Amino acid sequence: MPANKKILVVYYSKTGHTEGVANDIARRLGADIERITDLKNRKGLLGFLSAGRDAGKKARTAIGPVEKDPARYDITLIGTPKWAGNISPAIRAYLEKIAKRLGAVAFFATCAGTPLEPVLNDLETLSGKKAVAFLGLTMRELRDERTYQEKLEAFTSSVGK
Ligand SMILES: Cc1cc2nc3c(=O)[nH]c(=O)nc-3n(C[C@H](O)[C@H](O)[C@H](O)COP(=O)(O)O)c2cc1C
């Protein structure tokens, strides 16, 4: 879509929703993609509880190696699920690590259904940047193909300009 903009999509996803959105965005924009891994075990009930507790405390976590340098891209699109009202600890850790290397940014987030403004605020604060665009998706919007495609189109158009 964009003639020559270099775009990087970075995301963390535990159960695949944010990953699906990241893949769709990357496909539409011809962007490179990087998945952030959380080295803490988030599986099962204990993993779920630790996820909520860590996110609620705004704790970071140890993440796997980051391979792509955002400084080599015109814009980085960063995606996270909402956990306990906050961004995921893995994306918090990622932003703390690479904020200084970011050019322009846009963000996307998925959640069960609660407001995503606090997530956007956190992402802007941690990156030290105002987002060019924000795509927030609830579970209901993810399931409604028409709404999903419309929101995806609006987001990718403003990012690709
Ligand atoms: C530990 C945990 C806490 C969550 N907290 C919230 C929340 O505060 N508000 C909300 O709307 N959804 C919450 N959710 C739901 C996720 O945001 C939602 O399922 C999201 O799409 C998951 O993304 P993923 O599949 O990429 O991991 C929570 C999910 C988990 C696992």
Measured in angstroms, how far is the CA atom of residue 41 from the centroid of ligand 1? 16
Q: Does ligand 1 lie within 6 Å of residue 35's CB atom? A: no
Measured in angstroms, how far is the CA atom of residue 10 from the centroid of ligand 1? 18
C-alpha–C-alpha distance, residues 38 and 27, integer Å: 24
C-alpha–C-alpha distance, residues 106 and 134, integer Å: 6
Mean pLDDT by 10 residues, the chain (161 residues): 80 98 97 97 95 94 97 98 97 96 97 95 96 97 97 94 73
Q: Does ligand 1 lie within 6 Å of residue 111's CB atom? A: yes
pTM: 0.96
Q: What is the pLDDT of residue 3?
A: 54
Q: Does ligand 1 lie within 6 Å of residue 85's CB atom? A: yes
